[in-house]
Amino acid sequence: MTSHSTGHSTPRSTVRSTVRSTPRSTVRTRVDAAAALLGPRARRDEPLAPLTTYRVGGRAALFVEAASIEDLHRVALAKASTGLPVLAIGRGSNLLVADSGFPGIVVSLAELAGEFEIGSADRAGRVVVTAGGGVALPVLARRTASASVTGFEWAVGVPGSVGGAVRMNAGGHGSDMAAALIDVDVFDLDRAIEVEQGALRRIDATDLGLRFRGSDLTDDQLVVGVRLGLHRGDREASERQIAEIVRWRREHQPGGQNCGSVFVNPVPHEVTAGGLIDGLGLRGLRIGTAWVSEKHANFIQASDGGSAADVRAVMEAVRDRVAAATGFVMRSEVRLVGFETGRATEISDETSAPQMSGPDE
């Protein structure tokens, strides 16, 4: 990647479930050491279910709401010193946390990177929008539209954060992050230990390896901020477009506890995951407290107070049946957090950003 240092963004990785084979006494010792390094901003045994759209799963050993770059340096030090895994969480719309929880450090950037600024249009009508990695996509979509800025309307239906959207090039309704992204400010947890002053870097969008629902960002690279190149537009037209997207979503997608589309389309714009699942009559397939939505075949619902293990079991069953019947091995958009290695590692083989299904999904 070509990068530029900056005075001052969650990341691509293979979505392997976190290994939980470390003895509990060793984990507790590491957690104690990390808590001491993190200071008063760290909270122990923090429930993660309320921070995800599935609203199931266990607790984080440690939870940190980063309020400054210095807080991220403390997280980097704690990670390097204890070996605990780190998970950056945004809106939690693509996470399934194991019922046993996450035995590491969960970091929220909402406080540090929750602001945005809409610039003035230049002579060509281009508008640069600066946004923190913790900004909610629907909020940014509505605020840019109300400012007569066009090009981000599609994001109103994606229940995620800017940082997560960059990491996996989220998209829907004919567009994606790559269409507008100029560059990103990234805090590298590993680099923070090696080169303290160079931990925060500005990386050009062309150097991120952006592709369909993916990028080259790693788990240790936290998206702190982005710059988007949008355009001067017509407020009423943008707000009509947003209203139509919201209408379509309510008509075609279920509410309740889910993470949106579960599986990536095997052949974008040609073979859809929802179509394959629906073709096998799997709507309504239930295992325990989780089931395939009757309204949209590529959504898996969870009951209030349900089990993450049941959600994973439905994912496995659907994936296996589609593979056996069609030959398509579907990749999940859901990041599995805290699960034992094994079958879980086969379900989703790389992290995904929150995505709202478009009309062809």
Query: For the segment 210-252, what is each residue's pLDDT rounded down to a tens digit?
Result: 998 889 999 899 999 999 999 999 999 999 999 999 999 999 9
pLDDT confidence tier of residue 101, bands split at 50, 70 and 90: very high
Higher pLDDT, 264 or 130: 130
**Segment 339-360 mean pLDDT:** 48
92-108 as b/e, with b when 16 or more CB fall inside 10 Å?
Answer: bbbbbbbbbbbbbbbbb
Above 50 in pLDDT, residue 163? Answer: yes
Is residue 333 among the annotated active site residues?
yes
Query: Would you state the pLDDT for residue 18?
Result: 39
Higher pLDDT, 271 or 3: 271
Residues of the chain with CATH 3.30.465.10: 116-248
Provide the pairing of β-strand 95-97 with 335-337: parallel
> How far is residue 159's CA from residue 198's CA, in Å, rounded to a whole number?
32
**Catalytic-role residue among 333, 335, 348, 361:** 333
Q: What is the mean pLDDT of the chain?
A: 88
pLDDT confidence tier of residue 6, bands split at 50, 70 and 90: very low
In terms of Cα–Cα distance, which of 279, 292, 170, 180 is closest to 233? 180
CATH 2.30.29.30 fits 256-347, yes or no: no
* The token pair that represents 268 in the structure block: 């974008």
Residues of the chain with CATH 3.30.43.10: 6-108
In terms of Cα–Cα distance, which of 290, 288, 281, 291 is closest to 321? 281
Least confident of 22-26, 36-40, 297-301: 22-26
pLDDT confidence tier of residue 5, bands split at 50, 70 and 90: very low
> How far is residue 8's CA from residue 314's CA, in Å, rounded to a whole number?
43
- DSSP conformation letters of 186-251: EEEHHHHHH-GGGSEEEEEGGGTT-BTTB-S--TTEEEEEEEEEEEE--HHHHHHHHHHHHHHHHH
Assigned CATH for 6-108? 3.30.43.10
* The token pair that represents 135 in the structure block: 């900004």
* The token pair that represents 356 in the structure block: 């709202």
pLDDT confidence tier of residue 341, bands split at 50, 70 and 90: low
> Any idea which residue has 């629902």 for tokens?
213
Is residue 261 among the annotated active site residues?
yes
**Segment 34-47 mean pLDDT:** 96
Least confident of 19-28, 183-192, 216-225: 19-28
> Any idea which residue has 């069953």 for tokens?
317
Query: Would you state the pLDDT for residue 8?
Result: 42
User: Which amino acid is it at 339?
Assistant: F
Above 90 in pLDDT, residue 11? Answer: no
Q: What is the DSSP letter of 268?
A: T
pLDDT confidence tier of residue 353, bands split at 50, 70 and 90: very low
| Cβ(66)–Cβ(111) below 8 Å | yes
- The secondary element (H helix, E strand) that includes residue 97 is strand 95-97
How many residues would you count in the chain?
361
Q: Strand, helix or coil at 322?
A: helix
pLDDT confidence tier of residue 52, bands split at 50, 70 and 90: very high
**Catalytic-role residue among 161, 215, 261, 307:** 261
**Segment 300-322 mean pLDDT:** 98
> How far is residue 111's CA from residue 122's CA, in Å, rounded to a whole number?
30
User: Which amino acid is it at 206?
Assistant: T
- pTM for the model stands at 0.84
Query: Would you state the pLDDT for residue 153?
Result: 98
Least confident of 13-22, 64-73, 98-107: 13-22
Above 80 in pLDDT, residue 184? Answer: yes
> Any idea which residue has 């991220």 for tokens?
72
> How far is residue 261's CA from residue 357's CA, in Å, rounded to a whole number?
6
Above 50 in pLDDT, residue 311? Answer: yes
Fold category of 116-248 in CATH: 3.30.465
User: Which amino acid is it at 308?
Assistant: A
**Segment 137-151 mean pLDDT:** 97
**Segment 344-359 mean pLDDT:** 43
> Any idea which residue has 């090039």 for tokens?
169
Query: Would you state the pLDDT for residue 7?
Result: 41
Is residue 361 among the annotated active site residues?
no
The residues, ordered by sequence, that sit 6+ positions from 333 with a Cβ below 8 Å of its Cβ are 94, 168, 213, 259, 260, 261, 262, 263, 264, 348, 352, 353, 354, 355
User: Which amino acid is it at 91?
Assistant: R
Least confident of 52-56, 131-135, 266-270: 266-270
**Catalytic-role residue among 55, 201, 202, 213:** 213
pLDDT confidence tier of residue 20, bands split at 50, 70 and 90: very low
